[in-house]
A = this chain, B = another copy of it.
Amino acid sequence: MAELILTTFDWVPETPRGYVRDLRVRWALEEAGLPYRVESVPFTPRNAEHFAHQPFGQVPWLTDGDISIFESGAILLHLGHRGDTLLPADPRGRSKAVEWLFAALNSVEMAGLPWAIFAFSGYVGETPEWKRLDEFLKGRLTHLEPILAGREWLAGTFSVADIAMADVLRLVDRFDGLATHPACRDYVARAIGRPSFVKAHADQLAHFAAADLSHSDEKS
């Protein structure tokens, strides 16, 4: 099989560290035991080659031989199909994992990310705008809560759906959005307790910390 190369930024500010989406891909690669190499592109300025791989100027992307893939969901699905550790082998289980992968990104993150942006920006309180986004998110969590109370992982066994969902909920939890949804919070704790998450997270932090060092070398 071709070498897998994960590309992320060379450096990011403190705030997003530990939450940059290359984490989802690192986590999946660690879970699957697939060897990979990490490459970097400048956080700024973003050049034409970057946009050729990732049309929105974001990260990550993955190259697998002559195929270059952007969108963390598409990368997770691609890696899922490379082995049998990230997607169930039976068609029903596989279908379940795929629908939950989309649910994480299109039903839950679509509510959770704008909510987190508002929480981070301090747009929190009594305004109708905040209440509308909060209601949007809470509507999703209310339905998710009994599901996550009743099963360990979304598709029976741990899959790419859990990598996406746990990472989406982890961002909400960062701004204390899971306080009234304990099963969602327990699920996040369960997921991020896995050795593959711990390694992926530490590797992301180390990657950006190393960039700090080389930046300060240049300055000295």
Interface residues, chain A, CB within 8 Å of chain B? Answer: 51, 55-58, 66-67, 69-74, 77-78, 91-92, 95, 98-99, 101-103, 105-107, 109-110, 113-114, 117-118, 121, 123, 127-130, 132-133, 136, 139-140, 143-144, 147
Contacts and interface: CB of A to CB of B under 8 A. Distances in A.
Contacts of A129: 118, 123, 127, 129-130
Contacts of A69: 95, 99
B123 A98 contact: no
B103 A105 contact: no
Given A73-B106, A109-B106, A129-B118, A78 B95 contact: yes
Contacts of A103: 55-56, 70-71, 74
A99 B71 contact: yes
Given A107-B56, A127-B129, A132-B118, A74 B92 contact: no
How many copies of the chain does the oligomer comprise? Answer: 2
Contacts of A127: 127, 129
Contacts of A56: 103, 107, 139-140, 143
A67 B95 contact: yes
Nearest to A73: B102
A139 B58 CA distance: 11
Contacts of A72: 102, 106
Contacts of A51: 143
Contact of A114 (B67, B102, B114): B114
14 contacts: A58-B107, A70-B103, A71-B107, A72-B106, A73-B105, A73-B106, A74-B101, A102-B105, A105-B106, A110-B110, A114-B133, A123-B132, A127-B129, A129-B130
A61 to B, nearest CB: 9
Contacts of A136: 114, 117
Contacts of A99: 69-71, 74
Contacts of A101: 74
A95 B79 CA distance: 12
